[in-house]
Structure 1
Amino acid sequence: MARERGIPAVLAIPDATTVRPERAMVEVDGSTGRVALLGI
C-alpha cells in the first residue's frame, strides 16, 4: 500500500521485536531503509 501511494516504508526487519531493548527509541528512514536505535 505504501508503494502504491509513494510513501517510503521499511518492512520485514528480522528480530525487530526481540533485539530492541524495552522502551528504546528507534529512528526509521523509509527512503534508505536505515533503522537505528537511539541513545544506545
Structure 2
Amino acid sequence: TVLSDCCADRDEEVHRVLVEKVFPRQADVLTVDEWTAKL
C-alpha cells in the first residue's frame, strides 16, 4: 500500500504521475484516511 498523502516529490507533476499512473500498477494507493478506515 502506498499512502499518497504521506509521500511527496519536489516536482508536483512527478508526484501526480507516480501516484496516479505508476504505483497503482504495483500497489494499492490510498490516503491516510482511506487506509485507517479499512483497519
TM-score band (shorter)?
under 0.3
TM-score when normalising by structure 2: 0.23
TM-score, scaled relative to structure 1 = 0.23
Higher strand residue share: 1
Rg: which structure is higher? Answer: 1
Structure having greater relative contact order (Cα 8 Å, sep ≥ 6): 2
